[in-house]
Amino acid sequence: MSTLRCTPLRDFHAAHGARLVDFAGWEMPVQYHSILEEHKAVRRAAGLFDVSHMGEVAIEGSAALAYLQRLLPNDIARLAPGGVLYSPMCHASGGTVDDLLVYRRGPDEFLLCMNAGNIAKDLAWLREQSAGFAVTLADRSDAYALLALQGPRALEILQPLTRSPLAQLRYYHFCEGTVAGTPCLISRTGYTGEDGFELYHAPDAAPRLAQTLLDAGTPHGMVLAGLGARDSLRLEAGYPLHGHELSDEISPLAAGLGWTVKFDKGIDFIGRAALQAEKLNGSPRRVIFFRTGDRRIVRHDTPVLGATGATVGQVLSGTLSPILNEAIGSALIDSAATNQPLTAEIRGTAIALHRVQPPFIPLKKSP
């Protein structure tokens, strides 16, 4: 365990009964008391997540916008200072290097937030693609701790702790302010499908800020929530997780994220030609979402069978929806088979996979 990296909240988690596991090389809380209860608390009231393992890269310079327009399929020019945009980052093949959030802090100043397991790979890719652009790239991952406060009560929990007028902060926007005396980048974003805030702040302030938020949130029904609940919440919301619904082999088009690929932005972004061809010809395989009406979880890598019993794909993510009380998941399926009745076998029992257009539950918020 000694080779695992820790967030500044490692001892805070342990003191609050967390079960710590290896997640992408980080020692992270998978749960405190119960994944299912933490999940339900986020939908009902609120949950506080430590996601300090996420990576941050600052991109600055006169060509910062031009660079990001070339790098990313989404249209960064539409982003005004104070705005946040979700974008995949693609290979020339159209496959997905990673997916990330882009924060525009000024005309020539951006911050990217990326998946913890991809930081080194992303940085190498960002540097490789920056040749010829007047930009500076700085890995700021160690400069930020990140707490996510998510759930319908998030606003009323957070507002008394800050002078920033949170009701005026629109979804996918951010402001700079202080929370309980700690300078924070306050971002109205999240990965749960609920209203919520993500607070980027200095690591040494994290234990005090987390405790203050816990004390403020507990009377509202807020709980500490781990990565287990984070994963089931995002799947219920139909959000992709890189390495599952998006990967080097799965393009944003195949993943059903066509809205993030802006062919009409007038820039030859990386992956454009391949994605254009994929759009024209149709993706050979597609990500679909399913529910089963059964409590048995259909797990990652389980073969998916088509009408004739032949394998037509694999399960990408599977969990039990604590809200629907049935197994839900996603799978990568040969496009020719997406309209066939699909099944998966669990210990000799065929389980029907009923296609669902995500989200699985009505969302309060979506990007």
Partner 1 sequence: MSHSDLPPELRYAKTHEWLNLATDGTATIGITKHAQDALGDITFVQLPRVGTVLKTGEVFGVVESVKSASDLYVPVAGTVLAVNEELELAPELVNRAPYDEGWMIRLAVADPAEATALMGAAAYAQSLP
For position 265 contacting partner 1 by CB under 8 A, the verdict is no
| Smaller CB separation from partner 1, 69 or 302 | 302
For position 217 contacting partner 1 by CB under 8 A, the verdict is no
Burial 250-282 (b: 16+ CB within 10 A, else e): bbbbbbbbbebbbeebebebbbbebbeebeeee
Which helix or strand (DSSP H or E) is residue 65 part of?
helix 64-71
Of the residues 31, 69, 247, 338, which one makes contact with partner 1 according to CB under 8 A: 31
| Smaller CB separation from partner 1, 228 or 240 | 228
Q: How far is the CB of 226 from partner 1 (least distance, A)?
A: 10
| Bridge partner list, 46 | 222
Number of residues located near partner 1, criterion CB under 8 A:
16
Which helix or strand (DSSP H or E) is residue 170 part of?
none
Is 350 strand, coil or helix? strand
For position 22 contacting partner 1 by CB under 8 A, the verdict is no
Q: Which stretch binds partner 1 (CB under 8 A): 53-61, 131-139, 173-181, 293-301?
A: 293-301
| Smaller CB separation from partner 1, 122 or 236 | 236
| Smaller CB separation from partner 1, 69 or 232 | 232
- Paired tokens of 175: 């402001």
Strands 46-50 vs 55-60: parallel, antiparallel or unpaired: unpaired
Which residue type does 201 have?
Answer: H
Of the residues 44, 91, 105, 296, which one makes contact with partner 1 according to CB under 8 A: 296
| Smaller CB separation from partner 1, 128 or 301 | 301
For position 232 contacting partner 1 by CB under 8 A, the verdict is yes
For position 348 contacting partner 1 by CB under 8 A, the verdict is no
For position 299 contacting partner 1 by CB under 8 A, the verdict is yes
For position 225 contacting partner 1 by CB under 8 A, the verdict is no
DSSP code of 25? T
Which residue type does 30 have?
Answer: V
Q: How far is the CB of 36 from partner 1 (least distance, A)?
A: 5
For position 324 contacting partner 1 by CB under 8 A, the verdict is no
Q: How far is the CB of 238 from partner 1 (least distance, A)?
A: 19
For position 320 contacting partner 1 by CB under 8 A, the verdict is yes
Q: Which stretch binds partner 1 (CB under 8 A): 32-40, 104-112, 163-171, 249-257?
A: 32-40
Q: Which stretch binds partner 1 (CB under 8 A): 181-189, 191-199, 213-221, 294-302?
A: 294-302
Kindly list the strands in the beta sheet with 5-6, ordered across the sheet, starting from the edge strand earlier in the chain.
Answer: 5-6, 26-31, 19-23
Cα within 13 Å of Cα(18), Cβ side: 26
Of the residues 1, 347, 357, 362, which one makes contact with partner 1 according to CB under 8 A: 347
Is 287 strand, coil or helix? strand
For position 1 contacting partner 1 by CB under 8 A, the verdict is no
User: Is there a cis peptide before residue 359, judged by omega within 30 degrees of 0?
Assistant: yes
DSSP code of 242? B
H helix intervals, 72-136: 119-129
For position 297 contacting partner 1 by CB under 8 A, the verdict is yes
Strands 5-6 vs 26-31: parallel, antiparallel or unpaired: parallel
Mutual orientation of helices 64-71 and 119-129 as an angle, nearest 10°?
A: 110
Q: Exposure of 58 by Cβ count < 10 A (0-12 exposed, 13-18 middle, 19+ buried)? A: middle
Of the residues 6, 23, 24, 34, which one makes contact with partner 1 according to CB under 8 A: 34
Q: Where does this chain bind partner 1 (CB under 8 A)?
A: 19, 30-31, 34-37, 228, 232, 295-297, 299, 319-320, 347
